Chains A and B, each alone.
Chain A
């Protein structure tokens, strides 16, 4: 255990924790926006898988990670439109249609991977982007300013999302249709249009989260995400629908994963304890949910379809 508590290992662990928090954060920020508009998207995991495959495959073929990222986002947008049609136009029950999207994503990403790639060929991982001056600072630089581009994007999205939700007309509309869609409607806010926008942005971020995961690992395999998307949904509850608290939750999960990985590398945990390690994020999610579930104030119209004239 003593080898874990050295400055260099701790610094490396924090740096890797921030990196591992990134997919959680991106997906959870998107889900936050969607839920604030009153739509629960349980398909995040499926969209992440599709985005991850899209990014992986594009990068494999073009050797261009930026193209991979854009394809991941594009897939997210397409899935967002689809989920919008399902939940808004057809007013399908959100929990179960989300599970349908998850099953679809699980099967379809595996189908495409098996038929187009077959063996898990490694791809170029995202390269580090060193921020001038700041990355020179001892320890701090290594932890925060020698990350890949999507890490910066994710963390810059936190204040952006806060601003979007709390300081713009669009955000006001999102909150209005998520709390009392009838009132918003009577004031001339288009409930459906606002929700479509929120869902599409949310799914685009889920696709980006999948891309971040695939490009961070440099690999794709069946069920690559293994619960990331569902944990991201739990983080929205954990963060009480506020971007900054969602970020705190994502960092917490990232740090736990990084610590566990570091212990594995150092041989502090081995053999069958690897299974205990692998289940720890899931156990942690449940424990966290036990503590936060009672005190939460979810958007009042969450999961409630809006029907004009009813």
Chain B
């Protein structure tokens, strides 16, 4: 194997590492500008994220919604659909599963937990499917519709939690905090053995990533989704129902985000759904950070597992950093945005390296041809 081909093979991981390092450098400049010592800040960040078993468990907890959203994002992006509606789909899943648990509190745990998971996935799937149908049958740009559906979902949540779903105790006390009553204990996610706060959600999230992988790479449906994302015109000539696949991509994508909503509600410390009027306090911006994790995982559900753990860790570490150097944790959201920009900016460079290496291969006739890199078309074209 020639040196250049080795280089091309490691271009992907190197580019990702470069993106993180570049973002870390920008972050260091910001920290210094805000009067904090970057070294102390980053040390606190990393220790807070991965410094102990408890810290790692917290990072894994934070990673769950990112992973679930990220798996959905991988499916959508590979199908050529840009789903920015993670926030709304999380809320849709959370609301529908919360209502189910409120309506059927006495179901035994073995029935209730699977039920809320399914209902949550359906809720997110419907919310994603609306955007899918709007795109397929009315030509509405899904980026805009999913953003608008996020705003609508938040307001529906506010409406329901201030009205029909509010804890009756809040009305009696006159405090009117917009939240549900404590949900049925039968729906509490069991805590994993080991003495940390880790709960069932972590298994659900990893299983979901495996399911997402199988769906995308081991089924005909997944092949169709990827084909439509790769070249919708060719797919249409090959007889694929392109419109239905666009809808399905957003349904699947939304379903995984809906699961994230279920995990956020039933794995929460308060075991209830509460709102402060906005989305991010409940979702932790997982609908957006999940995009970052998915892009970082190369839009591959299994690689999104470590990527989510990394970004979950950054979010947990950010709070430790805030305590150590008094720089707001919002820094991490800003850096995540930069990582997205850096990663997409470097894709062209990666492609060039790959082309360069394949030209080398022609000269180097002794080696057998290699299969095409499945990660090559990483990012879908934006529809106009």
Interface positions of A (Cβ within 8 A of B): 40, 42, 46, 86, 90-97, 99-108, 110-111, 114-115, 222-223, 226-227, 230-231, 233-234, 237, 271-272, 275-276, 278-279, 281-283, 285-286, 289-290, 293-294, 298-299, 302-303
Q: Which residues of A contact B186 (CB under 8 A)?
A: none
**Apart from A96-B291, A279-B154: 14 A-B pairs, beta carbons within 8 A:** A90-B348, A93-B380, A97-B341, A114-B328, A223-B278, A272-B158, A275-B162, A285-B148, A286-B134, A289-B138, A289-B141, A289-B145, A290-B140, A303-B381
* CA distance in complex: A68, B291 (Å): 33
Number of residues of chain B lying within 8 A (CB) of chain A: 58
Query: Is the CB–CB distance between B330 and A107 below 8 Å?
Result: yes
Q: Is the CB of B148 within 8 A of A293?
A: no
The residue on A at minimum CB distance from B278 is A223
A282-B152, A289-B144, A303-B384 in contact; A97/B340 too (CB < 8 A)?
Answer: yes
Report how far A159 CA is from B143 CA in the complex, Å: 29
Instruction: Identify which of A46, A108, A303 contacts B382 (C-beta below 8 A).
Output: A303
A227 and B151 contact, CB distance less than 8 A: yes
* Contact, CB under 8 Å: A230 / B331: no
**Alpha-carbon distance between A115 and B379 when the two chains are bound, in angstroms:** 35
Query: What 7 A-B pairs have minimum CB-CB distances, sorted nearest first?
Result: A104-B337, A107-B333, A100-B340, A95-B382, A107-B334, A103-B337, A279-B155
Interface hub of B330, B338, B380 (most chain A Cβ within 10 A): B330
Q: A107 touching B331 by the CB < 8 A rule? A: yes
Tell me if B's interface is mostly helix, strand, loop or mixed.
helix
Most buried by B among A90, A96, A234: A96
Q: Which of B137-187 contact A (CB under 8 A)?
A: 138-141, 143-145, 147-149, 151-152, 154-156, 158-159, 162-163
Cα separation A18 to B172 with both chains bound (whole Å): 43
Which residues in window 329-350 of B have CB below 8 A to A?
A: 330-341, 344-349
Known: A93-B344, A94-B382. A107 touches B139 (CB 8 A): no
Q: How far is the CB of B78 from chain A (nearest CB, A)?
A: 13
Contact status B381-A100, CB under 8 Å: no
B192 on interface, CB distance cutoff 8 Å: no
Interface string of B369-384 (1 = CB under 8 A from A): 0000000000111111
Q: Within 8 Å CB of A99, what residues of B?
A: 82, 84, 143, 288, 291, 340
Contact of A276 with B327 at beta-carbon distance under 8 Å, contacts A99-B291, A100-B337, A104-B334 already known: no
Residues of B within 8 Å of A110, CB to CB, are 328, 330, 333-334
B333, A95: Cβ atoms closer than 8 Å: no
Q: 8 A-B residue contacts at CB 8 Å?
A: A42-B143, A46-B337, A86-B345, A90-B349, A93-B344, A101-B337, A234-B148, A282-B152
Which B-chain residue is minimally distant from A104 (CB atoms)? Answer: B337
Min CB gap A31→B, angstroms = 12
User: Is B139's CB under 8 angstroms from A293's CB?
Assistant: yes
Residues in chain A near residue B291, CB distance under 8 A: 96, 99, 103
Residue in A closest to B138 when the chains form the complex, CB atoms: A290
> How far does the Cβ of B89 sit from chain A's closest Cβ, in whole Å?
15
Q: Would you give the shortest CB distance from B384 to chain A, in whole angstroms?
A: 4
Question: How far is A237 from B383 in the complex, measured between Cα atoms in Å?
Answer: 13
Contact assessment for A104 and B34 in the assembled complex, using a CB-CB cutoff below 8 Å: no
Cβ contact within 8 Å between B334 and A96: no
Does the CB pair A105–B330 fall under 8 Å? no
CB of B160 to closest CB in A, whole Å: 9
Complex alpha-carbon distance, A289 and B145, angstroms:
8
CB-nearest residue of chain A to B288: A103
Q: A93 — nearest CB in chain B belongs to which residue?
A: B379
B293 within 8 A of A: no
Q: Whole-angstrom distance between the alpha carbons of A108 and B326 in the complex?
A: 15
Interface residue B295 (Cβ < 8 Å from any Cβ of A): yes
Q: Mark B310-332, 1 if CB is under 8 A from A, else 0.
A: 00000000000000001110111
Whether a CB of chain A sits under 8 angstroms from the CB of B292 is: yes
Contacts of B139 in A (CB 8 A): 293-294
Query: What are the residues of chain B within 8 A of A90 when measuring CB–CB?
Result: 345-346, 348-349
Chain B residues whose C-beta falls within 8 Å of the C-beta of A303 in the assembled complex: 381-384
In the bound assembly, the distance between CA atoms of A86 and B349 in angstroms comes to 12
**How far is it, in angstroms, between the C-alpha of A92 and the C-alpha of B163 when the chains are bound?**
45
Contacts of A96 in B (CB 8 A): 82, 291, 295, 340, 344, 379, 382
Closest-CB distance, A145 to chain B (whole angstroms): 33
Expressed in whole angstroms, the Cα–Cα distance for A108 and B145 within the complex equals 25
Residue from A233, A272, A299 with most neighbouring chain B CB atoms (10 Å): A272
Contacts of B336 in A (CB 8 A): 103-104, 107
Contact B34 A92 (CB under 8 A): no
Q: Once the chains bind, are A100 and B344 in contact (CB under 8 Å)?
A: yes
Among A222, A271, A285, point to the contact of B144 (Cβ < 8 A).
A285
CA distance A107 to B328 in the complex (A): 10
Whole-angstrom CA separation of A93 from B295 in the bound complex: 12
With both chains docked as a complex, state the minimum distance between the C-beta of A256 and any C-beta of chain B, in angstroms: 14
Question: B138: which A residues are within 8 A, CB to CB?
Answer: 289-290, 293-294
